[in-house]
A and B are shown apart, each in its own frame.
Chain A
């Protein structure tokens, strides 16, 4: 009997049809994924698509912002038509200037930077009190750049991913760092958002670098940031010269 790969292992939609096709059906739940890309490539938009898809299914989702204040992010996402005020969406502003919610009260971004453990602890406390299926940390870049004890960070990160698996949470972490680093090895999948300049115009491409437990589309596919979010042309090629 013939089984499609997507039938064998449960998948969850990313909320972006073209990306689900590239992933042969979607993400494998209960695992962690890294979204890499420079500023303005749409990492946050991709992450919000992912969370909104959970909300569509009646799931509670958690979004933790470490750079862009939550109220600004909400304004931007509303413009794209996302139902960001839905009660199933829990947003935590962990930026230096953002409004604090109780679990993060008194715990500041700078402290997260000093100790990734503090951030992890706060997230775990939140997961203990409420059942979330999808979690986004956006972005991890500054935490990483200011990390003092790399060994400690590595240990905490591995422990964090293990704990999340127990909660059966699917985690997306965004990062602006291009070079391959610790997270690339530890997470189950890495998706990179790239930009190319052709005759003065920016052309965007998305590439899956890694997806454990599944085959995937290895081609760079073009995408656009539209007024409805990210649109991926999963059958097209990018044609960026020789």
Chain B
């Protein structure tokens, strides 16, 4: 599978079925990467989203046909098993965007969410699904983040450096069978991801 962002695809390499791509970020910075992945693979794309995200999806024509599983409607944060059940019953080879780690980390202790995510990783492998999840680094400690990283085959790390009024954003491949990279300049212009030169 390719994400659909040439520079990122070049850095990551082909993503094999049955694997997890974890996007570690601040807030929702860079969630466009997951959206691009869904657009690129829209024929068999599925997304686990909040109600707010569902409304955002509606505004994007390329995502109109993506199957959505909505938190608070189709599944509930207290019932983690219902989320794993939905994933288990998806068609083989689905490309899944998973946007629920943030609300789940608010509802449950990080270790519970980690146990749940371990189950998700098993299902991803068994069902030959590619799952891209986004996690806000501020919601978990380093140890927990490392545990999440262990479950993913690919990890993209997004950082934000503020110096005075200057904000610099960087992106690196933290984990991939193809190898790690240094930080690349990372911007979002008109809703599009732009990956620039190596920083430093």
* Cβ-defined partner of B80 (8 Å) among A200, A239, A242: A239
Comparing A53-61, A115-123, A230-238, the segment that makes contact with chain B is A230-238
A201 within 8 A of B: yes
User: Contact: A239 with B81, CB < 8 Å?
Assistant: yes
The residue from B79, B88, B116 contacting A235, defined by CB atoms under 8 A apart: B88
Q: Are B116 and A239 in contact (CB under 8 A)?
A: yes
> Is residue B51 within 8 Å, beta carbon to beta carbon, of the partner chain?
no
CA distance A241 to B84 in the complex (A): 16
Question: What mask results when residues 209 to 238 of chain A are scored 1 for a CB within 8 Å of chain B, else 0?
Answer: 000000000000010000000000101111
**Is B150 at the interface (CB under 8 A from chain A)?**
no
Q: For residue B153, give the distance in angstroms from its CB to the closest CB of chain A.
A: 22
In the complex, what distance in Å separates the CA atom of A240 from the CA atom of B112? 7
By a CB distance below 8 angstroms, the chain B residues around A239 are 80-81, 108, 112, 115-116, 119
The answer to whether A16 has its CB under 8 Å from any CB of chain B is no
CB of B109 within 8 Å of the partner chain: yes
CB-contact partner of B79 in A200, A222, A241, A242, under 8 A: A222
Write out the residue numbers on chain A whose beta carbons fall within 8 Å of the beta carbon of B81: 203, 222, 233, 236-239
**Contact of A241 with B78 in the complex, beta carbons under 8 Å:** no
Which chain B residues lie closer than 8 Å to A240 at the CB level?
112
Complex alpha-carbon distance, A241 and B108, angstroms: 7
Residues of A within 8 Å of B112, CB to CB, are 239-242
Complex CA distance for A86 and B82, rounded to whole angstroms: 34
How far does the alpha carbon of A78 sit from the alpha carbon of B191 in the complex, in Å? 55
Question: Residue B78 contacts which of A199, A233, A237 (CB distance < 8 angstroms)?
Answer: A199
- Interface contact tally, CB-CB below 8 A: 49
Chain A nearest CB, measured from B23 CB (Å):
23
Instruction: Say yes or no: is B125 at the interface (Cβ < 8 Å to chain A).
Output: no
Within 8 A of B (CB), among A48-79: none
For residue B89, which residue of chain A has the nearest CB? A235
Distance from A159 Cβ to chain B, minimum over Cβ atoms (Å): 42
Q: Is the CB of A199 within 8 A of B85?
A: no
A151 proximal to B (CB < 8 A)? no
A203→B77 contact, CB < 8 A: no
Q: How far is the CB of B104 from chain A (nearest CB, A)?
A: 10
Contact between A242 and B78, CB atoms less than 8 A apart: no
Give Cα A242–Cα B79 distance, bound, in whole angstroms: 15
In the bound complex, do residue B77 and residue A199 qualify as a contact, i.e. CB atoms below 8 Å apart?
yes
C-alpha spacing A242/B78, complex, angstroms = 15
Shortest distance between the CB of B136 and any CB in chain A (Å): 19
Tell me whether B79 and A203 are in contact (CB under 8 A): yes
Most A CB contacts (10 A, CB to CB) among B77, B79, B108 go to: B79
CB distance from B119 to the nearest CB of A (A): 6
Q: Which residues from chain A sit less than 8 Å from chain B, CB to CB?
A: 198-201, 203, 222, 233, 235-242
A-B contact pairs, 16 of them (CB 8 A): A198-B107, A198-B108, A201-B76, A201-B79, A222-B79, A222-B81, A233-B81, A233-B85, A236-B81, A236-B84, A236-B88, A236-B119, A237-B80, A237-B119, A242-B109, A242-B112
- Using CB atoms and an 8 Å cutoff, list the residues of chain B in contact with chain A: 76-82, 84-85, 88, 107-109, 111-112, 115-116, 119
Other A-B contacts than A198-B108, A237-B81, A239-B81, 5 sampled, CB-CB below 8 A, are: A203-B79, A235-B85, A236-B88, A236-B119, A237-B80
